[in-house]
Amino acid sequence: MTLLPVTRMSMIAAPLLLALGACAGNPYDIPATQCSPAQHQALVGRNVGEVFLPPNLRKREVGPDGVMTRDYNPARLTMFLDAKGWITRVACG
């Protein structure tokens, strides 16, 4: 009958652990409004030096021979540039 105290303790601890798990934030819970390819499509065909973007928008520029990290960030705007700095494509990530 020593199993009874362990079972009682498990029954008390399980809901507490579930409640703590529900409090944990999702690291990928990023507002979708920060990067919108449809919204930023107007940048295509413009020179990156003439473009004004909000300072709080995460962004990166990738040249024709540029190297990118593989970390996906749905809130980051990625602008693909040609050799002269013209934006050829935009994407999130």
Q: What is the mean pLDDT of residues 23-41?
A: 57
> Structural domain of residue 64, as residue ranges?
3-92
How far is Cα 50 from Cα 62, in angstroms, rounded to an integer? 16
CATH of the domain at 20: 3.30.10.10
Residues 39-93: tens digit of each pLDDT: 888 899 999 999 888 888 888 999 998 888 888 888 899 999 999 999 999 998 8
Q: Mark 29-39 as b/e (b = at least 16 C-beta within 10 Å).
A: eeeeebbeeee
Nearest-angstrom CA–CA distance, 58 and 76: 5
Question: Average pLDDT of 26-47?
Answer: 68
The pLDDT assigned to 28 comes to: 32
Overall average pLDDT of the 26-43 stretch: 62
Q: How many independent structural domains does the chain possess?
A: 1
